Amino acid sequence: MSTTTTTHTPVPERSQPPLLVAGPIAWMRANLFSSVWSSLVTLALAYFLIKFTVGLIDWAFLKSVWTVPTDPATGKLNPDACRQAKGEGACWAVIWDKYRFILFGRYPFDEQWRAAIVLVLFLGLFIVSAMRRFWRPVLALIWVAVLTAIFTLMWGGVFGLRYVAQDEWGGLPITLILSTFGLACAFPIAVLVALGRRATNLPAVKLICVIYIEVIRGVPLISLLFMASVMFPLFMPVGLNPDKLLRAQIAIILFAAVYLAEVIRGGLQALPKGQYEAADALGLSYWKKMGLIILPQALRLVIPPLVNTFIGFFKDTSLVLIIGIFDLLTSGKVAVADPIWQAFSTEVYIMLGLIYFCFCFSMARYSQSLEREFSKSVRR
Amino acid sequence: MSNGTQPAIQLDKVNKWFGQLHVLRDVSLEVATGEKVVVCGPSGSGKSTLIRCINRLEVHQEGRILVDGTELTDDTRALDTIRSEVGMVFQSFNLFPHLTILENCTLAPIWVRKMPKAEAEALAMEFLTRVKIPEQAKKYPGQLSGGQQQRVAIARALCMRPKIMLFDEPTSALDPEMIKEVLDTMIELADSGMTMVCVTHEMGFARQVADRVVFMDRGEVVESGTPTEMFETPQTDRLKLFLSQILRGH
């Protein structure tokens, strides 16, 4: 070996790795066809996926019946076209005929525009609340104003609107009222209960919170709803019988608060002790410490499980079906009880599923964007 | 209430236990206004517990602690007042990660001192300039280095205009190249006449700024004196052993 002076030639910079390592072909080779077995599984799954998708498109769009003619003799719809297509194509005519009943239940037909405005108001409220630039005290005012408007529209009896009793309400507005009110009222209760359960220096408060959580959590929501609708009126003096919807609403709030409280407690416990100490050392009082330092961080930590609970409760409001409250699911069920459409419940349930899915999926996507937003500022 | 003769901090036969572990044994200590005291000792000697008792992050179980003439008791309102007069800097910084540097500094002045926001921000910028990081004001703690975070923590405490500053091993969690910037900030603070109690292993810092060094071991104050006395002519075997271990490490 001869002695040479080592010189360093700089390695040229390249903007990307070679295509066979990082391109789509490489990705497929690594993830779909890495071995014989993996290739077989990929091909089998692809086969079933394509077959299913083709079948679905065929059923839902190509062979489906969109409208049926009115029978001139009876003046009713004639679903014969649907009956013929049964098993091969969907009968969307049932939706076309029943969508207003499904959305608004037994709400008087001529007044359903009011319930429709209520839906728009709810959606507007959700959208505004989701935007961070409205996260100011004024948002509370917006909520009060919108909810007042919603109940004024639903009940009527003022401004020349016809009075509509609560047992005539139904459909999607009921579902949105139960879930929005339920979660909006349950959340602050949950925060207080979570703090109470951790208040080691207030043993009585702590005990009450623990009992509340354990008792409610140990009982199914259905039995709580039964108690609210059947047992509770028995204990009330004659004549004083709070509205059934309100009773179900209270049961839902009490139930949701427990689950949210436990999720929030998880966040409180996950915060490092140093955060509590730093707040103490600055002389912040208990409520300022919690409101300014601890809760903002704890709640951010538990966004995923919180939204999980929210989604769960949004769907659980459909349990009020068993105590005869006319929510979205109930009105769907009643719609297909119509003798003309009895054979076509699948289509109705698909529509109900799609409505629930839209709300739940929006919540899920929103929580993801919120997490991304927060993780930008808190890079530890 | 404070006057020239009354000590800023007074501990009288303070005892504390963690379960059955006797972590503070009859600790008595007086810190005069403007005095700088460095507390040192091997780990587990109770020095952090001692300093945390001074603003009641730990509750002592026997004896008396007076801060600025007020005794520490269960009275939470009095406690919040004392805590707002006593600044504390932690080993692990404990900045609030969800707030910007500026918000970290203005939070307590606004919410505890009821200071208008603009005034609090001006004050915060003044102290951030003093610790030499005004340009980081809009960033979040997670975007700063350890040394910068600790300097923010010092500025945050100073924004309350405290009468006393407590430092609990402020440089122990820092990379070696960042220790100096924090110590420089502390030295500057000492020169400004602040009353300081500092738990640290930085003997160079102790020599430079401390009026008095207190050596603790197994929950007791074993020896105390000026830095020169302590480091040149240690009286007890325990201090001699400790110094030899410290010096070997350097």
* pLDDT grade for A32, boundaries at 50, 70 and 90: confident
B111 CB near a chain A CB, below 8 Å?
yes
Whole-angstrom Cα distance, residue B66 to residue B9? 6
Find all residues with CB under 8 Å of A370, minimum gap 6, and list them: A303
Residue A291's closest chain B neighbor by CA?
B111
Mean pLDDT of A344-351: 85
Cβ distance B156 to A293 less than 8 Å, yes or no, reads no
Which amino acid type is present at position A343? A
Whole-angstrom Cα distance, residue B237 to residue A192? 55
For chain A, give the mean pLDDT.
85
Find all residues with CB under 8 Å of A133, minimum gap 6, and list them: none
Cβ distance A280 to B94 less than 8 Å, yes or no, reads no
Strand partners, A213: none
Smallest Cα distance from A288 to chain B, Å? 8
Residue A272's closest chain B neighbor by CA?
B94
Q: Integer distance in angstroms from the first to the last C-alpha of chain B?
A: 44
Cβ distance B142 to A284 less than 8 Å, yes or no, reads no
Helix pair angle (A112-130, A93-104), 10° resolution:
80
Beta strands in B73-227 (DSSP E): 86-89, 164-168, 195-199, 212-217, 220-225
Q: Which of B97, B105, B93, B145 is nearest to A301 (CA)?
A: B97
Mean pLDDT of A3-15: 76
CB A182 within 8 A of CB A313: yes
Residue A300's closest chain B neighbor by CA?
B98
Chain A positions contacting chain B at CB under 8 Å are: 272, 274-275, 277-286, 288, 292-293, 296-297, 300, 374, 377-380
Q: Integer distance in angstroms from the first to the last C-alpha of chain A?
A: 52
* pLDDT grade for A380, boundaries at 50, 70 and 90: very low
* pLDDT grade for A153, boundaries at 50, 70 and 90: confident
Residue B165's closest chain A neighbor by CA?
A281
Smallest Cα distance from B108 to chain A, Å? 6
Q: Is the dihedral of CA A297, A302, A304, A307 positive or negative?
A: negative
**Cβ neighbours of B69 (radius 10 Å):** 12
Which amino acid type is present at position B202? E
Cβ distance A284 to B108 less than 8 Å, yes or no, reads yes
Cβ distance B97 to A293 less than 8 Å, yes or no, reads no
- Looking at per-residue confidence, does A336 or A281 come out higher? A281
Q: pLDDT digits over B36-54, tens only?
A: 999 999 888 899 999 999 9
Strand partners, B217: B220
Q: pLDDT digits over B141-181, tens only?
A: 999 999 999 999 999 999 999 999 999 999 988 888 889 99
Looking up tokens 């379960």 gives B19
Whole-angstrom Cα distance, residue A57 to residue B42? 75
Of B112, B142, B143, the CB nearest to A283: B112
Contacts of A281 in chain B (CB under 8 A): 55, 57, 83, 86-88, 90, 157
Residue A252 has pLDDT above 60, yes or no: yes
Looking up tokens 């302590």 gives B230
Smallest Cα distance from B238 to chain A, Å? 32
Contacts of A284 in chain B (CB under 8 A): 80, 107-108, 111-112
Residue A7 has pLDDT above 60, yes or no: yes
Mean pLDDT of A162-181: 86
Cβ distance A377 to B98 less than 8 Å, yes or no, reads yes
Whole-angstrom Cα distance, residue B224 to residue B201? 15
Whole-angstrom Cα distance, residue B3 to residue A128? 57
Cβ distance A284 to B156 less than 8 Å, yes or no, reads no
Q: pLDDT digits over B95-109, tens only?
A: 999 999 999 999 999
B90 CB near a chain A CB, below 8 Å?
yes
* pLDDT grade for B87, boundaries at 50, 70 and 90: very high
Whole-angstrom Cα distance, residue B54 to residue B86? 9
- Looking at per-residue confidence, does B250 or B187 come out higher? B187
Contacts of A279 in chain B (CB under 8 A): 96
CB A344 within 8 A of CB A64: no
Of B90, B112, B157, the CB nearest to A277: B90
Q: Which of A63, A60, A79 is nearest to A71 (CA)?
A: A79
Residue B1 has pLDDT above 50, yes or no: no
Q: Which of B64, B50, B72, B52 is nearest to A276 (CA)?
A: B52
Mean pLDDT of A113-134: 88
CB B168 within 8 A of CB B38: no
B117 CB near a chain A CB, below 8 Å?
no
Q: Which of B61, B123, B49, B54 is nearest to B83 (CA)?
A: B54
In chain A, pLDDT over 70 holds for what percent of residues? 95
Look at A260-264, A295-299, A307-311, A345-349 and tell me which has the smallest mean pLDDT: A345-349
- Structure tokens given for B35: 């005095």
| Best B80, B89, B197 residue to mutate vs chain A (most A CBs within 10 Å) | B80
Mean pLDDT of A321-339: 84
Q: Which of A10, A42, A362, A304 is nearest to A176 (CA)?
A: A362
| Best B83, B101, B106 residue to mutate vs chain A (most A CBs within 10 Å) | B83
Q: Report the alpha-carbon angle B80-B82-B83, nearest 5.
A: 65
pLDDT at A239: 63
pLDDT at A99: 85
Smallest Cα distance from B213 to chain A, Å? 24
Q: Which of A277, A298, A296 is nearest to B91 (CA)?
A: A277
CA distances from B32 to B5, B38, B47 (A): 8, 13, 19
Cβ distance B111 to A296 less than 8 Å, yes or no, reads no
Mean pLDDT of A348-362: 91
Q: Which domains are delineated in chain A? A: 172-379 (1.10.3720.10)
* pLDDT grade for A20, boundaries at 50, 70 and 90: low
* pLDDT grade for B90, boundaries at 50, 70 and 90: very high
Q: Is A55 exposed, middle or buried (0-12, 13-18, 19+ CB in 10 A)?
A: exposed
* pLDDT grade for B2, boundaries at 50, 70 and 90: very low
Residue B8 has pLDDT above 80, yes or no: yes
For chain B, give the mean pLDDT.
90
Cβ distance B140 to A379 less than 8 Å, yes or no, reads yes
Mean pLDDT of A38-62: 90
- Mark B209-247 as b/e (b = at least 16 C-beta within 10 Å): bbebbbbbbebbbbbbbebeebbeebeeebbeebbeeee
| Best A282, A303, A377 residue to mutate vs chain B (most B CBs within 10 Å) | A282
Q: Is A40 exposed, middle or buried (0-12, 13-18, 19+ CB in 10 A)?
A: exposed
Mean pLDDT of A31-42: 87
Whole-angstrom Cα distance, residue A71 to residue A81? 12
DSSP 8-state symbol, B144: S
Cβ distance B140 to A378 less than 8 Å, yes or no, reads yes
Contacts of A277 in chain B (CB under 8 A): 57, 90, 94
* pLDDT grade for B216, boundaries at 50, 70 and 90: very high
